[in-house]
Structure 1
Amino acid sequence: MSVTKDELLKIATSRSNELIELTAKLIRINSENPTGSQREVIDFVKKYLEESGIEAEELKANEAFPCVLAKIGNDEGPSIILNGHVDVVPAGDLSKWRFDPYCGEVTDTLILGRGTSDMKAGVAGILFAMRLLKESEAPIKGNVRLHIVSDEESGGQYGTKWLCEQGYSDQADACIVAEPTSNFTIEIGQKGSNELVLKAHGTSAHGSLGNYKGDNAIIKLTKVLQNIGRLHEIRGQFSLDQAQALENSKYIAASKLEMPGIENVIDHVTASVGIIQGGTKLNMVPDYCEARVDIRLPIGADVTEVDRAIQTIIDDSDVDGVEYDVTWKNFGNSTSIDAPIVQAIKKYAEEIWDIKVLPAYQWASSDARYYREKGIPTIQYGPANTEGIHSYNENVDIQDVINANKIYLLSLCDLLGIN
């Protein structure tokens, strides 16, 4: 007799300790990027899949950043991708941690360590969901495809981006990225991330004559940079069917970030000066200065308008010898709020947590964009305590990990015809 959705849920509940131990084991593997190696954690994932009866394949565009692919099911129905990354940001100053960042300690309510929220708990959740589906011989009408990558924290060019470019996401009907979110938020869209480079050219002279001779490139560029905030005035363009998600997003931003006007981060361009480099020696008037600006484009932003605004800022700064370079590569992207993958995750997140769950747009960006660029409805939903992400004393709630796994499993049941 075929296993039912309710029976799968009971199995997941009865074996939740296995999920927690899997998460802890992943945490205990130091997989820092860019300072460490991904070999051990990738080998662990492959072995776990093989022990689960799932054939795993290692692929790599770069020896240092291998990917693991796997598939269960058949080609007679929808194809769902589960994506996660196993690399983590460096632990940083160990004296600022209250515990060993790679202890993987399990307390009464928490799992401790670097990567618990970003995003090894999410990876454990999708791995465990695949194992349960495989071992139970669930009657899948379609297939589940696993994409585990090891370089998301360094830009993803050898991971999800490469997999999509090579066709490994082709024919997919939906994708779940187990990146960290709040339990009441399903991320269905995000801003595009681009780099603006501003370059100022001046004339060198001896520093002792700097007020009279030479043309200081640093001074020139600062006049431009003090007006870069004008780019914030540019808004994205949202369609009527995006109105609810936009409203949800602004509410979440205002609630989480608690800064006056912070909700505008969702639908306005943001420009953050991240790096300034200029000058050769203290006693020389600098003849060159360069600034790199993080430009985030909301959904529907017109890059022609942004280009015009950048040039206008330079012109209005009343300096010569300043130019800019920007290649627009990443744009705001989204999945319809009515997509089956969104509605399935929302249904079971609300059922499991007994709260209202909001599909919303994110102010940052992630690997989800590569699937959306391929036309694949893609969401992010994963266990997390967001305050520890990319910071110290990272942890995740045990209940969050257990519930996320159940939500993945039940959503896959709905999408793949398991009643």
Structure 2
Amino acid sequence: MSQPQREAVESLVEDLVAIETENPPGNERVCAEYIADWFANREIEAELVEEPYADRPQVGVKVGGGDPTLVLNGHIDVVPAGDRSQWATDPYEPTVVDDSLYGRGSVDMKTGVAIGMLATAQLADEIEAGERDGSVVFHAAIGEETAEPGTKTLLDRGYAGDYGVVLEPTSMRTGTSEKGLAWYKVRVNGDPSHASRPDQGTNAIRNAQPVLEALDEYDATVREREDDLVGQAYSTVTMIEAGTKENVVPEEAVITIDRRFLPAESIEEIDAEIEDVLETVSAAHDIETTWERTRTYESASIETESHLAAVFRKHSKKVAGTSTSDWGISASTDVRNFVNDHGIEAITWGPGDLTQAHTYDEHVSLPAAVDGLEALLGAARELLEET
């Protein structure tokens, strides 16, 4: 790809990374306005969609009026940068070192957003000139990091199509399947008392011990379940909170579970499993527990030999030598909104190494980003030539 393309990619990723969009709390507005203005400066209409939250707009773009329609999706929120002292550089002052651009969101997923913007603008010019059939939709969605309905809202508002590409970092492998994610909070009750009289109360931390043991056994059972594309299922205890003061026997302990599930598992089945584990341990140890599911990313999958996947595999191999084998992503993305909510054939695909996501010194390879734009344009052009 030409030097101007390299410069365009680098400049746009830098601009996007420099705009802090941490979620929580959800600071996407400035970035959404930047993206809308970027399209407007190229005489492409972009809507600031003030749904589902008026104070956190997202961006929807549609160019062309023919069939088929390809939707390019990216989210603009990022996870918090965390302890700034752990970063070698300021996470919101993008820095290029040895052909890699460092900064929060560089890989997850402002590079994907950037190549989606550049591809949309290039394809808009080709469609306008009569060189290309079909239509392109672009999403700059909010709230992906916290399972909010940003992408779903854009699809519901009509920014939908025949094919969808969620531009997450997959090292340009074509993901046709992904794990689901559910978070649970389990409350274990006790009875408070002064710590000088510990036997007067019932320590919720002690009550939590058999619950933790039962959850470990459940995780061991869950790990026996596997999917050829996305790997093992997991049920991991990630947090435990208890106590209000050093000298008070705690009346409640709250256990958080991160449950990663396979396309073959349903959320209703998983709810029932959690309920069964807790009922069994509560009865055996005469303790009281309650639970709630606090967040859900559904699993999703399409046929591994779908036409969309085949086209992206071909162009990824052509540009970067990427493997064409069947593959699924172990993380959770907004592809579920395409596949499950709207029945749209969709993949997760994009440049960048997923292991960099949410890390200190997060970075993306700029040559890989440029390759991603080239492969994306090649695949899009092939898809849009079909009627």
Give me the TM-score of the superposition, normalised by structure 2.
0.88
Give me the TM-score of the superposition, normalised by structure 1.
0.82
Residue 139 of structure 1 corresponds to: 131
Post-superposition offset of 1:402: 0.7
- 2:280 partner amino acid: D
1:9-408 matches, within 5 Å, as 15-34=5-24, 37-61=27-51, 62-75=53-66, 77-107=67-97, 109-136=99-126, 137=129, 139-157=131-149, 159-164=150-155, 166-170=156-160, 172-183=161-172, 185-210=173-198, 212-232=199-219, 233-234=221-222, 246-249=227-230, 266-268=231-233, 270-302=234-266, 303-304=268-269, 307-308=272-273, 310-312=275-277, 314-316=279-281, 318-327=284-293, 330-373=297-340, 374-408=342-376
- 1:301 partner amino acid: E
- 2:168 partner amino acid: E
Task: State the SS of the aligned residue for 2:182.
Answer: strand
Contact 1:177–1:379 (8 Å) recurs in 2: yes
Where do 5+ consecutive residues of structure 2 fail to align? none
Q: How many residues align?
A: 379
Where do 5+ consecutive residues of structure 1 fail to align? 1-9, 239-245, 250-265
- What is the distance in 2 between the residues matched to 1:285 and 1:17? 61
Task: State the SS of the aligned residue for 2:347.
Answer: strand
List per-residue Cα deviations over 1:298-324 (Å, max 9, x = no partner): 111154366246424552462223333
- What is the distance in 2 between the residues matched to 1:67 and 1:174? 20
- What is the distance in 2 between the residues matched to 1:343 and 1:13? 29
- Structure 1's 18 and 272: CA in aligned 2 closer, same or farther, altered over 3 A? same
List per-residue Cα deviations over 1:76-115 (Å, max 9, x = no partner): x212111111222222222222223223334452222222
- 2:148 partner amino acid: G
Post-superposition offset of 1:13: 7.1
Task: State the SS of the aligned residue for 1:23.
Answer: helix
Task: State the SS of the aligned residue for 2:136.
Answer: strand
Alpha-carbon RMSD? 2.7
Post-superposition offset of 1:272: 1.9
- Structure 1's 408 and 198: CA in aligned 2 closer, same or farther, altered over 3 A? same
- 1:223 partner amino acid: P
- Structure 1's 201 and 394: CA in aligned 2 closer, same or farther, altered over 3 A? closer
- 2:382 partner amino acid: D
- What is the distance in 2 between the residues matched to 1:105 and 1:381? 25
- 1:349 partner amino acid: S
Tell which deviates more after alignment, 309-318 or 360-369: 309-318
- 2:206 partner amino acid: I
- Structure 1's 230 and 34: CA in aligned 2 closer, same or farther, altered over 3 A? same
